[in-house]
A and B are shown apart, each in its own frame.
Chain A
Amino acid sequence: MLGREPGVWRPFAGGTDLMVLLEAGKLPHQKFLSIWKFAELRGIEVTPESLSIGALSTYTEIQRNAILQREFPLLCRAASETGSVATQNRGTLGGNIANASPAADSPPALMVYDAEVELISAKGARRVAYRDFHTGYKKMLMHDDELVWRIHLNRALKRNREYYRKVGTRKAQAISKICFAAAASIERGRINDVKIALGSVAPTVLRAAETEKILKGEKFSSALLKTAQETLSHEISPIDDMRSTAVYRRRVAQNLLGEFFDVMSA
């Protein structure tokens, strides 16, 4: 159906975003395809090398999964801080990706873990690196006839420090003003590898590649942190909106980098 009538049908999962838009009269689509019961899009599968999360996995299912809790805590943190319990029971990881909000909470965690997204259509499946998936505001490497099928996480990814912090108006429920996820591999006081991703500071969720470059291979010093914070400030492009201001977001992004720096050097 998605292939035969491209753009006509809107795939519809848990409804936590789309029902709001529909009721507000902001959805141009006339036809909705409920994919909620598609068994192929469900379940979390584990192999020795990787974890494959079905697109319809809810935030509740993600939080309750023991392997995700142990090996991918940032994703469980993100899931637990997205909306309320009721939202977490219906909201899906695939929906969080395909809805393409720059303020979504799970994408920064997925980016830090170098996730891959597998898309499916009548023509077949293909895998893309998640860091390349969002190409502009609400734009992504996904065609009208495709669905997010599974999200793949590599279990061998090396890191020994992880950090996640969402800053919102209220502890629960609020959409983020800024969201910061990061992981690093530290050996003998040196930053061997580091990955940083942020939400709500650019038209898309952003991997802070320039800031990572500054930090990689270095030893901890206050001068290093200062340079990294300046780089991050240039790398992000926050805006003023109903939730916060650009100035606040820039400042908090730098402060969160400082907090992550403490976690790395501890």
Chain B
Amino acid sequence: MPDRAEKIRVRCTLNGAAAALEAYPMARLLDVLRDEAGLTGVKEGCGEGECGACSVELDGEIVNSCLIPALQAEGATIRTIEGVATGDQLHAVQQAFIAYGGAQCGICTPGMVLAAVSLLKRKPHATETEIRAGLSGNLCRCTGYTKIFAAVMAACRDMDRTVEG
């Protein structure tokens, strides 16, 4: 590792609240979120941007937090899995994951849910092909993906119903 600079204070909006995190500038956002902010829903899988377990939303777009240096989070709006539900009310995607058995061991689940939420925000009527493409950066070693895709498809329908109803 390179010799590290002094810690800096990273100001950002974290799950809707203002936050100031103490971190080394080149520390991984993944570690800062877990260790400094206590948001352990952010998981580490591969640590090199292949698996998507560490997915978070950064300024509205899904990113791998293992590849973001802390200094680039300055001023950003970040959402982790802890910020997806509204109080006790789970997001339609979270409910569908429960209903359809979209989670097994759970390591990929936070990233998978966030990637799905992020996708449906842009494409509320996503087709199965679009869902498969949208989640292709999130690897799951348990489910075989079928139940995950079914859950996200169901969430699309549920969200439609909520909007119409």
Contact = CB atoms under 8 A, between A and B. Distances in A.
B51 to A, nearest CB: 9
B28 A23 contact: yes
Contacts of A30: 2-3
Interface stretch (B64-72, B96-104, B147-155, B156-164): B64-72
A169 B149 CA distance: 22
Given A60-B61, A85-B62, A89-B63, A19 B69 contact: yes
Interface string B35-75: 00000000000011110100100100111101111011000
A170 B28 CA distance: 27
A25 interface: yes
A193 B138 CA distance: 42
B72 A15 contact: yes
A86 B62 contact: yes
A32 interface: yes
A12 B72 CA distance: 10
B17 interface: no
Nearest to B138: A84
Contact of B137 (A15, A34, A60, A86): A86
B42 to A, nearest CB: 13
Contact of A34 (B2, B52, B71): B71
Interface residues of B, number: 31
Contact of A19 (B61, B66, B134): B66
B26 A172 contact: no
B165 to A, nearest CB: 30
Contacts of B28: 19, 23
Given A25-B1, A171-B136, A173-B137, A86 B55 contact: yes
Given A25-B1, A85-B62, A171-B136, A90 B52 contact: no
B113 interface: no
A27 interface: yes
Nearest to A24: B48
Contacts of B136: 84-85, 171-173
Interface residues of A, number: 28
B30 to A, nearest CB: 10
A36 interface: yes
B69 A16 contact: no
B52 A86 contact: yes
A15 B71 CA distance: 12
B133 interface: yes
Contacts of A173: 50, 136-137
A24 B46 CA distance: 12
Contacts of A86: 49, 52, 55, 62-64, 115, 137
A31 B47 CA distance: 21
A209 interface: no
Contacts of B50: 173
Given A15-B69, A172-B137, A23 B47 contact: yes
Interface of A: 12, 14-16, 19-20, 22-25, 27, 29-32, 34, 36, 60, 83-87, 89-90, 171-173
6 contacts: A12-B69, A19-B66, A23-B66, A25-B1, A36-B72, A87-B49
Given A19-B68, A83-B137, A86-B115, 20 more contacts: A14-B67, A15-B72, A16-B49, A16-B64, A19-B49, A20-B67, A22-B2, A22-B26, A23-B28, A23-B47, A23-B66, A31-B2, A34-B71, A34-B72, A83-B49, A85-B134, A86-B55, A86-B137, A89-B58, A89-B62
Interface of B: 1-3, 25-26, 28, 47-50, 52, 55, 58, 61-64, 66-69, 71-72, 115, 118-119, 133-134, 136-138
